[in-house]
């Protein structure tokens, strides 16, 4: 699986999204590779921290749109949902490095990472409404909790991008650095975490997350059911068809 590179060094497993020609958009095979890696890292005592990173020019353009069109109603067993559940329940620290566009799941997966470092070229966007669908990865509740309702509404209803400075201000990311330094900073922080007692890291993260864990998992399933239904409806067909045909969507009839 060349589209997801997996490295294990000094207790840190690094997943590099490596499909730059398609702006690091995620295919089902890539979700499965990440889900498998997280499962393996969870049970492997030699992995203490996981880092997720992209390219210096792009973190991820979100779900591969051709895959979306091939599997319009993926169901609860879909690779993306396995990836999300494994991410949400991952017991050890997760560190992300984000440069360039982080679209859709490129942004929403960050709600489930513990530390996020961004290049100053990072641009976050959750364009679900503009695609005729609805939020995923529990972003329908987590965005408002993090940013406050009105900023979340701007991000989710208008689907407007926000840059690294705004992401820092709302607390979605920890620090902004030049893009050439983002992956290195994430690695350095991961190594610091890897040197700490793993049992304390796991227990601390469990206590920090446990109040909302079941709710987050339930919301992910509810969002997925709506998302799957909406994928088959006219608004999404128009939005995705327009992307493939490289034209502006026309929502005047939906």
Q: From CA 64, how far away is CA 215, in angstroms rounded?
A: 27
**What is the CA 226 to chain-centroid distance, rounded?**
19
Q: Measured from the CB atom, is 93 or 127 closer to ligand COA?
A: 127
Stretch binding ligand COA (CB under 6 A), from 7-15, 61-69, 179-187, 199-207:
61-69
Site string for ligand COA, 24-53 (x = CB under 6 A): -x----------------------------
Exactly one of 14, 28, 53, 63 binds ligand COA (CB under 6 A); that residue is 63
Q: Which residues pair with 31 in a beta bridge?
A: none
Task: Tell me the C-alpha to C-alpha distance, in Å, between residue 179 and each of 57, 120, 194, 254.
Answer: 8, 6, 24, 40
Task: Tell me the C-alpha to C-alpha distance, in Å, between residue 173 and each of 74, 160, 162, 170, 232.
Answer: 30, 18, 12, 8, 34
Q: Is residue 23 close enough to count as binding ligand COA by CB under 6 A?
A: yes
Residues 6+ apart with CB under 8 A from 6: 13, 14, 15, 16, 33, 37
Q: Is residue 127 close enough to count as binding ligand COA by CB under 6 A?
A: yes
Q: Measured from the CB atom, is 30 or 190 closer to ligand COA?
A: 30
Q: Shortest Cβ distance from residue 57 to ligand COA (Å)?
A: 8
Q: Are 136 and 220 in contact (CB under 8 A)?
A: yes
Q: Is residue 104 close enough to count as binding ligand COA by CB under 6 A?
A: yes
Stretch binding ligand COA (CB under 6 A), from 19-27, 41-49, 77-85, 185-193:
19-27
Q: Shortest Cβ distance from residue 59 to ligand COA (Å)?
A: 9
Task: Tell me the C-alpha to C-alpha distance, in Å, between residue 78 and each of 72, 109, 199, 246.
Answer: 11, 16, 32, 27
Stretch binding ligand COA (CB under 6 A), from 62-70, 86-94, 112-120, 191-199:
62-70
Q: Is residue 103 close enough to count as binding ligand COA by CB under 6 A?
A: yes
What residue ranges bind ligand COA (CB under 6 A)? Answer: 22-23, 25, 61-66, 101, 103-104, 127, 131
């Amino acid at each position: 699986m060349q589209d997801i590179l997996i490295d294990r060094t000094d207790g840190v497993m690094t997943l590099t999204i490596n499909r730059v020609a398609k702006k690091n958009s995620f295919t089902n095979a890539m979700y499965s590779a990440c889900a498998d890696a997280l499962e393996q890292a969870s049970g492997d005592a030699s992995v203490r921290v996981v880092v997720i990173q992209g390219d210096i020019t792009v973190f991820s353009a979100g779900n591969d749109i051709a895959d979306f069109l091939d599997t319009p109603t993926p169901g609860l067993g879909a690779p993306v949902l396995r990836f999300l559940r494994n991410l949400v329940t991952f017991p050890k620290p997760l560190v992300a490095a984000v440069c360039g566009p982080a679209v859709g799941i490129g942004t929403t997966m960050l709600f489930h990472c513990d530390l996020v470092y961004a290049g100053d070229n990072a641009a976050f966007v959750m364009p679900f409404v503009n695609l005729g669908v609805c939020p995923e990865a529990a972003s329908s509740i987590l965005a408002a909790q993090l940013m406050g309702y009105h900023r979340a509404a701007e991000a989710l209803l208008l689907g407007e991008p926000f840059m690294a400075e705004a992401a820092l201000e709302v607390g979605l990311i920890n620090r902004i650095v030049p893009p050439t330094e983002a992956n290195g900073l994430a690695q350095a922080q991961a190594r610091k975490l890897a040197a700490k007692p793993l049992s304390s890291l796991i227990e601390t993260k469990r206590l920090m997350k446990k109040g909302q864990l079941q709710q987050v998992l339930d919301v992910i399933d509810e969002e997925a059911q709506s998302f799957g239904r909406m994928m088959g409806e006219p608004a999404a067909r128009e939005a995705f068809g327009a992307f493939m045909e490289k034209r502006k969507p026309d929502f005047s009839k939906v």
